[in-house]
Structure 1
Amino acid sequence: MEHRISEPFTTEKFKDLKAGDTVLLTGTIYTARDAAHKRMLEMLERGESLPFDIKNAVIYYVGPTPEKPGNPIGSAGPTTSYRMDAYAPALLDLGETAMIGKGQRSQEVKEAVQRNGAVYFAAIGGAGALMAQRVCQSQIIAFEDLGAEAVRRLEVKEFPVTVVLDSCGGDLYQEGRAAYLESRK
């Protein structure tokens, strides 16, 4: 099933999504990879505020290439998500509602997704130029010294993602594998 969801990206809007659904996101999302996640958790440990409001936030695991003149961003394909698994549960517990990346997640992340009514989306790996076409604006808001891994605020329109982990415990990777093996009998 296909859904069109605009911000605010609340758990209420994500609660009926099921693993395997396709979603077109429109609104503000943030970028952060492992170095930025590490810094954000260190900020929280020191009692500092994060560079953006984590409540109802969607974080895209991406390190975009430099933009060409006239474009808001360069190629913006997803990063392998397990690199953020050590940090994701804490951010989900603080109100992050969705993550975008590629690949499987740890059991701790799966439990945090379900506990918080959040979702994990997969973006199309290898299609960074396509993903970049859905970015209308891009602004570095923190950790500029990290270069491509700086935290950015992106404005996206109909950004295509697929639900991998839903808030009810559905897991597309497990379900898809099971369906495939069943079809082979």
Structure 2
Amino acid sequence: MAEYKLTTPLTDEDVEKLKAGDIVYLSGVMYTARDAAHKRIVDLILNGEEPPFDLKGAVIYYVGPTPPKPGEPIGSAGPTTSYRMDPYAPILIEHGLKGMIGKGKRNQAVKESCKKHKAVYFGATGGAAALIAKAIKKAEIIAYPELGPEAVRRIEVEDFPVVVINDVYGNDLYEEGRKLWEQK
């Protein structure tokens, strides 16, 4: 396992060097979106319309943050369970998405899309929402404000800590970790 510091937007070269289990500190711009926003974004794409942000090289963080305290850019911002985005992720990956951040397993279609189109799924630590929020330096709603916490936000991050769960080679940290545990 290696450690990397990467800046968004991510490139093919960035994600090709990552392997399941690697620790990555992301800096730059990311976007927040959960299932309701994902459905709307995919509907736009399927209707030949532009999504609310450029997907090329983008990273989406699956989060519905709490309201910020005065003077803070965002409230508590822990990852949400990723499988709810599985029906939409392959289309977004096909259109340039390079990274997704959440918690929990992904389905085979998402893993295959990551391999085919060179994207990665990162895990963020559940239960560390307040700590994760400290890596978010700026946040603004850019689409679907009526969704409240699930609105799409453009966030600026500095050394946002994640672990590679699914890489471009088809590796899955959850499966590999279980195999190692069963061998012991």
TM-score (norm 1): 0.97
| Partner-residue secondary structure (3-state), 1:92 | helix
Which residue pairs with 1:156 in the alignment? Answer: 157
Residues 26-80 of structure 1 show CA distances to partners (whole Å, capped at 9, x for unaligned) of 0000000000001111111222110000010000000000000000000000000
In 1, the alpha carbon distance for the partners of 2:167 and 2:46 equals 29
Residues 114-157 of structure 1 show CA distances to partners (whole Å, capped at 9, x for unaligned) of 11111000000011101100000001000000000000000000
In 1, the alpha carbon distance for the partners of 2:78 and 2:159 equals 15
| Partner-residue secondary structure (3-state), 1:49 | coil
Matches within 5 A, 1:44-83: 44-83=45-84
Which residue pairs with 2:107 in the alignment? Answer: 106
Residues 72-103 of structure 1 show CA distances to partners (whole Å, capped at 9, x for unaligned) of 00000000000000000000000100100000
Matches within 5 A, 1:13-24: 13-24=14-25
Which residue pairs with 1:36 in the alignment? Answer: 37
Which residue pairs with 2:177 in the alignment? Answer: 176
| Partner-residue secondary structure (3-state), 1:95 | coil
Structure 2 gap segments, 5+ residues each: none
1:143 paired with 2:154, answer no
Matches within 5 A, 1:117-132: 117-132=118-133
CA RMSD, 1 decimal:
0.6
Q: For 1:26, give the aligned amino acid.
A: S
1:94 paired with 2:95, answer yes
| Partner-residue secondary structure (3-state), 2:90 | helix
Structure 1 gap segments, 5+ residues each: none
| Partner-residue secondary structure (3-state), 1:167 | coil
Aligned residue pairs total: 183
| Partner-residue secondary structure (3-state), 2:44 | helix
**Between 11-20 and 142-151, the greater mean CA deviation after superposition:** 11-20
| Partner-residue secondary structure (3-state), 1:179 | helix
Q: For 1:125, give the aligned amino acid.
A: G
Residues 1-45 of structure 1 show CA distances to partners (whole Å, capped at 9, x for unaligned) of 111111231121111111000000000000000000011111112
| Partner-residue secondary structure (3-state), 2:114 | helix
TM-score (norm 2): 0.98
Q: Percent of aligned positions with the same letter in both sequences?
A: 57
